[in-house]
Amino acid sequence: MGYNLLKGKKGIIFGALDENSIAWKTAERVHEEGGSFVLTNAPIAMRMGQINELAKKTNAEIIPADATNEEDLANLVAKSQEILGGKLDFVLHSIGMSVNVRKGRLYTDEKYDFTTKGWDVSALSFHKVMQSLYKADAMNEWGSIVALTYMAAQRTFPDYNDMADNKAYLESVARSFGYFFGKEKKVRVNTISQSPTPTTAGQGVKGFDGFIAYAEKMSPLGNATALDCANYTISLFSDLCRKVTMQNLFHDGGFSMTGVSQEVIEKFTDQD
């Protein structure tokens, strides 16, 4: 059910890979709320996913772009405005990758070439995306830019590896660029710290099923799903959140504010 929250609004959605992706769910919800957009992902990711199916379903065009490449991003920003007929109102950055995780390298045994690549894709790319938008003056006033993050930026989850560092950097970029985008262009920049979600990227982390099960037991409302996150993102894209910026917004069923839950106490307490 749509409420026309994004009627007439235009944007770019990064990172839709398959129907498990938060970006995929967000694209579907934007479409339902009356928004139009361009879909983009790295060429290699596009070959792995089903983005053409999503584009057909949402009447969106696809522009391949490497989010670490400034020329690709400049082209993406320019072509998106041509296709959509004007400046943009929203952008979703839903990109993350750790080569160390993929290759099974422990945090205490990182290969730094892998670390640099993962940081570039997962975190620095957010700065590159916003700088491209900023320099091209591509955002309408009161536009909204959102990136997805995870609580490992604040608390230690051993197997999350160098992605935790990437997310911490990503959140800092949101605050720092958010100041300039807000002050000079009235554009909002926020991050959503989502529950562990069984996306293709998330499932690549060692012990991820354990993350999900533990968070479910710890969260008073239970874990937020990919669709839940899409709905929250829609609210941030809409005019209902015009004065929300430079925030890291926890969307995790209360996990981030819960010291311990009764279910966890019972799990580790002898009930006999």
Which of the following is catalytic: 3, 112, 134, 160?
Answer: 160
Q: Is 150 one of the annotated active-site residues of the chain?
A: yes
Residue 22 annotated as binding? yes
E strands present in the chain: 10-14, 36-40, 61-62, 88-93, 139-149, 188-194, 248-251
Q: Print pLDDT tens along the chain (272 aa).
A: 789 999 999 999 999 999 999 999 999 999 999 999 999 999 887 777 799 999 999 999 999 999 999 999 999 999 999 999 999 999 999 999 999 999 999 999 999 999 999 999 999 999 999 999 999 999 999 999 999 999 999 999 988 999 999 999 999 999 999 999 999 999 999 999 999 998 766 666 677 788 899 999 999 999 999 999 999 999 999 999 999 999 999 999 999 999 999 999 998 886 55
What's the number of domains the chain is made of? 1
Q: Tell me which residue range forms the domain holding 73.
A: 10-270
Residue 21 annotated as binding? yes
* C-alpha pair distances (Å), 174 with each of 32, 71, 182, 185, 253: 27, 22, 11, 15, 23
CB 195 within 8 A of CB 219: yes
Residue 179 resides in a domain? yes
Q: Which two tokens stand for residue 3?
A: 């409420």
Run of H or E residues at 104: none
Q: Give pLDDT, residue 204.
A: 62
Residue 2 resides in a domain? no
Residue 3 resides in a domain? no
Q: Give pLDDT, residue 249.
A: 98
Q: Give pLDDT, residue 45.
A: 77
Residue 1 resides in a domain? no
Residue 166 resides in a domain? yes
Residue 155 resides in a domain? yes
Residues comprising the chain, all counted:
272
Picking from 3, 5, 12, 15, the residue whose alpha carbon sits closest to that of residue 140 is 12
Residue 4 resides in a domain? no
CATH of the domain at 131: 3.40.50.720
Residue 259 resides in a domain? yes
Residue 85 annotated as binding? no
Which of the following is catalytic: 112, 134, 150, 179?
Answer: 150
E strands present in 15-66: 36-40, 61-62
Q: Which two tokens stand for residue 123?
A: 């975190």
Q: Is 214 one of the annotated active-site residues of the chain?
A: no
